[in-house]
Amino acid sequence: ASSKNVSTGTYIAPKSLTDQKNNPKLQQCSGQGIYVLTDGEPNSNFFASTMTRAALKNPSFNCTQDGSGWDCMHKASQELLDPSKNPSGLKIKTAVVGFGTSFNNIPSYNSSLSKSENLAVVNAASGASNDVKNAARWGIMGEGGWYSGNSPDDIIKSINAFLAELKAEIPA
């Protein structure tokens, strides 16, 4: 089956997601996330606000369109975390993986630190561009984590760490 509505050109969510929307029992045992893998230093995005409004199905979504797209990406990650503000009706975490040497100067996300402590680590990192730091902030703010990788093994580790972040507590 296709994940695209041919007549409207829009995404069709899988049944496993739509079944959860109005079923708290299913939501309790499930975690949702977006895993973003970069293949080099991020660069500008002049259409971030337009794309984000469309993805969130929210024409009133507001962000600063400065050419970098970071304000839009950071705010979108917050909208995805809030089930009342995204079309899935579910909490969706965002993880970001920087693949390549541009990301070596920022330590990966540490799940034993708070969000603000992880952000402070990124902000204090030297030798990384603002775009690289913003990519790391995106994953931390999105509650899925930030990971730096240079090998296939690093990617496997980041996927496993992200899956651990998605793990839902199963109620008794």
- The model's pLDDT over 141-165, given as tens digits with 9 standing for 90+, comes to 999 999 998 889 998 999 998 888 8
The rounded percent of the chain whose pLDDT value lies above 90 is 35
For the entire predicted model, the pTM comes to 0.83
- The Cα 122–Cα 128 span in angstroms is 9
Share the mean pLDDT of the chain. 85
- The Cα 25–Cα 144 span in angstroms is 22
Contact between 89 and 95 under an 8 Å Cβ cutoff? The reply is: no
Characterize 138-172 residue by residue with b for buried, 16 or more Cβ atoms within 10 angstroms of its Cβ, and e for exposed.
bbbbbbbbbbbbeeeebbeebeebbeebbeeeeee
pLDDT: which is higher, 8 or 84: 84
- Residue 120 — pLDDT band, cuts 50, 70, 90? very high
Which conformational region is residue 76 in: left (phi greater than 0), alpha (psi within -120 to 50 degrees), or beta? alpha
